[in-house]
């Protein structure tokens, strides 16, 4: 795996990761997180909610941002320091979520990078936010 050191990052750099959210993903996330809200697990219950059907956990989709940061930009060795999230629309089982991060600010001296983060389904934002990370420095 390769990635970027803090010295190599520039505002505007961007990377993405896409994943189709499956039934198994939702069930596994429920088990790992302990979040067994029937809005995620019970179709009969979910039909009577604002969303008129089951939705995936918001944090399941938000977790895809972590995949981009850890594996692509900045990449391996990056430490996640903070994240804001605004949930804009639901994600349903079978939706393909694309998480995209874009470098906004780089502070080489403090080894801090601020990135805009967006998760989208079919081009429509479902989560927007901002991440602060500490990428590795050059050896």
Q: Domain-by-domain residue ranges, the chain? A: 6-21+57-134
User: d(Cα 52, Cα 92) in Å, to the nearest integer?
Assistant: 11
Residue 84 to residue 51: CA distance in whole angstroms:
23
Determine the pLDDT at residue 14.
Answer: 98
The CATH number that domain 6-21+57-134 falls under is 3.10.129.10
Percent of the chain whose pLDDT exceeds 70: 99
Mean pLDDT of the chain, nearest integer: 97
């Amino acid at each position: 795996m390769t990635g970027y050191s803090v010295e190599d990052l520039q505002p505007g750099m961007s990377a993405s990761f896409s994943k189709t959210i499956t039934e198994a993903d939702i069930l596994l996330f429920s088990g790992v997180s302990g979040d067994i809200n029937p809005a995620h697990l019970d179709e009969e219950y979910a039909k009577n909610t604002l969303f008129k059907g089951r939705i995936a956990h918001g944090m399941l989709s938000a977790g895809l941002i972590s995949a981009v940061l850890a594996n692509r930009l900045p990449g391996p060795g990056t430490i996640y320091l903070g994240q804001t999230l605004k949930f804009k629309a639901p994600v349903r089982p079978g939706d393909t979520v694309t998480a995209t991060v874009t470098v906004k600010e780089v502070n080489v001296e403090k080894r801090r990078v601020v990135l805009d983060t967006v998760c989208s389904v079919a081009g429509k934002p479902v989560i927007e936010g901002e991440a602060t990370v500490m990428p590795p420095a050059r050896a």
